[in-house]
């Protein structure tokens, strides 16, 4: 097999085609290929003009091109191609110059009279130029060339940063369109089939968790994109962004090399048979992956030589390793893998040798390359299918063994489950009894707490009234007024505790009803802030939007919410620090009210726990309270379909945000019906 491959490469190297005569654009000829009739001059500096190359002094520097032009990798300078043309007398059909130049960035085409340097027709096109430089929007460059009878000279200047090649022909329009449609149809069908193989590989690879299939799908997708770039179809899809098309092509080439290395290592299990070769191929693949990243940033032209060297190393190393593994383990799937790898190696070696201008034979044309590309992809997929079939057979046998073992274990497992179920039922009944007793105890405790809290309200009211009367009668005694103030503060704390307990009990009542209506929140906030300002003497800054702030709420419950939040802000902030209350109405109709203070703030790990029932932060245990206020706030807000949270971005103290949903049309209609 190795001798066969070496002989084929030698044959490709030595093959050559005959030179043809001067082309004549005869009316009865459908196509006039320029293969074998062109001569080439390498402009090392890229500074020669049409007048320079058409001068007799440089005629001797032009050398014949045997076949289509393959200039190889030449980053500096340009190539000039020349061929004579003859248009016979008589009625001449419309001729089109068709150029297949996949990687030529700048392509300047001139037609002059024989012996003259003055162009009678010219066109400037190429990948780096806009699609308007072509006369037909197809994958190849098609230029309309209206030429009257006479003798002409065709001059073409090629420049670019990749391996330059050109295939040129003159066509009559109708035959060209028919041939091009036929060729592109075959190409698109081929690429479509390959894309289907990529999808199959990715789908089955993900489903079976098989890395070789996944990398196969990635590799084939890269091959498809590479073919699209080589045939100019990407430029048609992205006509206004040639740079993006070039980047996609470069990424696809690098990804195909990366995928090829990963597929070869996995399908031939090189980690087991040839660990050093496996490491080398993986390293080459990683370098190709790095090249794909660089290509994304438009740097493929700088690394194109390295990429081709990598591809050739992968071909030689991978094919040799594949042959070694095939000799040691000649199963049907491995043989198919090797045949696919051999086709891939021949194809890549031809591309690499042409790139470095070491091989320019026409034995393997572009269509033969596409056929080889499709063939090797199909062979690898067929090998994977054979391997999956054999693995399925092994899995079915293993499945039968597992079913037999499961059947033996099922009876034992059922006995254990029955015994354990009996034990769990006993534990469950005992737990339910404990939970029922605990629920009854909690219900009695809450009822007792509500009763005691309710009974406290009358004595506390009397105490507050008596203290007020005593203070009124002894208004001229400062000591008495100070004692009365202490009594009132203590009484207010007791009233707050009683109200919190009663509110909590009322909220726990499942039969409670929320009496909501469409209310303007602004007057309520203004009244609460004014009351707190009068009672405490604190500075409370209220900011309201222009116009009413309508929300669908139970006014009594929502008043409890903001009274709690403003009271907490006063309680936990320094005496002279202001309290900020801000109301904001969104365009959606939602309303947010923000209460901020300059206190110690709330640690991040407690911002959700502060809303739990009876929770009190260790940092505020010196202040009076039982941990029900914020719990009641949250329950009331959630009853209204809103939300309340601690703003973690505020670092000057504590900031609570209350958000109410927008008032709906149905809520407005319900309130109108009630009125």
pLDDT in tens, 11-55: 333 334 444 468 999 888 899 999 889 999 999 888 999 999 999
More confident residue, 198 or 72: 198
The verdict on pTM exceeding 0.85 is no
pLDDT tens, position by position, 486-523 = 766 666 656 665 665 555 555 555 444 567 888 899 99
- The vertex-231 CA angle with 28 and 31, nearest 5°, equals 5
Q: Is the pLDDT of residue 341 over 80?
A: yes
State residue 15's pLDDT score: 39
Percentage, residues of the chain above pLDDT 70: 83
State residue 234's pLDDT score: 76
| CATH 3.30.565.10 applies to domain 513-674 | yes
So what CATH class is 441-509? mainly alpha
**Confidence class for position 362, pLDDT limits 50, 70, 90:** low
| CATH 1.10.520.10 applies to domain 2-182 | no
If you write DSSP's letter for every residue of 410-464 in order, what string do you get? HHHHHHHHHHHHHHHHHHHHHHHHHHHHHHHHHHHHHHHHHHHHHHHHHHHHHHH
Three-state SS letters, 306-375:
HHHHHHHHHHHHHHHHHHHHHHHCCCHHHHHHHHHHHHHHHHHHHHHHHHCCCCCCCCCCHHHHHHHHHH
State residue 50's pLDDT score: 93
pLDDT tens, position by position, 579-607 = 999 999 998 889 999 999 998 888 888 88
Cα–Cα separations (whole angstroms), residue 346 to 7, 232, 316, 338, 357: 11, 23, 10, 12, 16
State residue 14's pLDDT score: 38
- What's the mean pLDDT in 106-125? 93
**Confidence class for position 308, pLDDT limits 50, 70, 90:** confident
Q: Please report the sign of the dihedral spanned by the C-alpha atoms of residue 13, residue 18, residue 19, residue 25.
A: negative
Q: Which of 140-144, 300-304, 356-360 reaches the highest mean pLDDT?
A: 140-144
**Confidence class for position 169, pLDDT limits 50, 70, 90:** very high
State residue 447's pLDDT score: 57
pLDDT tens, position by position, 172-183 = 989 988 888 888
State residue 531's pLDDT score: 83
**Do β-strands 643-646 and 31-33 pair in parallel, antiparallel, or remain unpaired?**
unpaired
Q: How far apart are CA 162 and CA 106, in angstroms?
A: 11
pLDDT tens, position by position, 537-560 = 889 999 999 889 999 988 878 888
State residue 645's pLDDT score: 93
- What's the mean pLDDT in 207-227? 86
- What's the mean pLDDT in 331-357? 85
Q: Is the pLDDT of residue 344 over 90?
A: no
Please, what is the average pLDDT of the chain? 82
Phi, psi for residue 666 in degrees, rounded to 5: -65, -40
State residue 619's pLDDT score: 65
Alpha-helical segments (H) within 537-620: 555-571
């Amino acid at each position: 097999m190795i001798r066969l491959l070496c002989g084929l490469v030698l044959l490709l190297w030595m093959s050559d085609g005959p030179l043809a005569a001067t082309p004549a654009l005869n009316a009865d000829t459908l196509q006039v290929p320029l293969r074998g009739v062109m001569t080439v001059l390498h402009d090392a500096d890229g500074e020669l003009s049409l007048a320079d190359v058409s001068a007799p002094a440089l005629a001797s520097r032009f050398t014949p091109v045997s076949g289509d032009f393959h200039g190889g990798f030449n980053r500096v300078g340009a190539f000039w191609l020349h061929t004579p043309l003859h248009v016979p007398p008589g009625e001449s059909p419309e001729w089109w110059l068709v150029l297949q130049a996949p990687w030529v960035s700048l392509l300047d085409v001139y037609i002059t009279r024989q012996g003259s340097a003055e162009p009678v027709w010219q066109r400037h096109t190429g990948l780096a130029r806009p699609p308007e430089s072509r006369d037909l929007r197809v994958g190849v460059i098609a230029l309309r060339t209206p030429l009257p009878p006479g003798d002409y000279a065709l001059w073409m200047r090629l420049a670019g940063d990749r391996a330059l090649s050109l295939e040129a022909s003159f066509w009559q329009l109708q035959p060209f369109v028919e041939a091009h449609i036929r060729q592109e149809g075959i190409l698109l069908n081929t690429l479509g089939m390959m894309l289907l193989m990529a999808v199959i590989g990715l789908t089955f690879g993900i489903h079976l968790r098989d890395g070789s299939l996944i990398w196969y799908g990635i590799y084939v997708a890269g091959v498809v994109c590479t073919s699209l770039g080589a045939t100019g179809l990407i430029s048609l899809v992205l006509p206004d962004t040639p740079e993006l098309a070039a980047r996609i092509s470069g990424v696809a080439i690098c990804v195909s090399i990366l995928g090829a290395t990963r597929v070869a290592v996995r399908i031939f299990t090189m980690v087991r048979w040839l660990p050093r070769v496996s490491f080398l191929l993986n390293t080459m693949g990683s370098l190709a992956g790095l090249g794909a990243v660089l290509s994304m940033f438009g740097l493929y032209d700088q690394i194109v030589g390295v990429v081709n060297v990598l591809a050739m190393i992968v071909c030689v190393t991978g094919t040799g390793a594949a042959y070694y593994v095939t000799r040691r383990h000649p199963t049907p799937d491995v043989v198919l893998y090797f045949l696919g790898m051999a086709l891939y190696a021949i194809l890549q070696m031809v591309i690499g040798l042409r790139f470095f201008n070491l091989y320019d034979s026409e034995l393997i044309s572009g269509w033969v390359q596409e056929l080889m590309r499709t063939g090797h992809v199909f062979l690898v997929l067929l090998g994977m299918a054979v391997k999956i079939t054999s693995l399925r057979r092994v899995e079915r046998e293993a499945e039968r063994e597992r079913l037999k073992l499961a059947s033996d274990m099922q009876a034992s497992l059922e006995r254990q489950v029955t015994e354990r179920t009996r034990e769990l039922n006993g534990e469950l009944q005992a737990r339910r009894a404990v939970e029922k007793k605990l629920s009854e105890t909690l219900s009695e405790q809450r009822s007792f707490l509500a009763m005691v809290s309710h009974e406290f309200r009358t004595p506390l009211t009397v105490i507050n009234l008596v203290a007020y009367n005593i203070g009124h009668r002894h208004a001229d005694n400062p000591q008495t007024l100070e004692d009365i103030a202490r009594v009132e503060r203590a009484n207010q704390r007791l009233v707050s505790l009683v109200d919190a307990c009663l509110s909590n009990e009322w909220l726990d009542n499942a039969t409670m009803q929320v009496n909501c209506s469409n209310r303007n929140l602004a007057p309520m906030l203004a009244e609460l802030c004014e009351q707190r300002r009068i009672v405490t003497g604190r500075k409370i800054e209220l900011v309201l939007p222009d116009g009413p702030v309508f929300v669908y709420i139970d006014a009594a419950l929502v008043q409890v919410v903001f009274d709690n939040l403003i009271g907490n802000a006063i309680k936990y902030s320094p005496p002279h620090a202001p309290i900020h209350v801000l109301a904001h109405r969104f365009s959606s109709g939602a309303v947010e009210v923000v209460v901020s203070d300059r206190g110690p703030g709330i640690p991040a790990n407690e911002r959700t726990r502060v809303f739990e029932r009876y929770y009190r932060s260790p940092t505020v245990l010196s202040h009076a309270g039982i941990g029900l206020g914020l719990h009641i706030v949250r329950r009331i807000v959630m009853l209204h379909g809103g939300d309340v949270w601690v703003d973690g971005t505020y670092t000057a103290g504590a900031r609570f945000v209350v958000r109410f949903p927008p008032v709906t049309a149905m809520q407005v209609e319900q309130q109108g019906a009630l009125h």
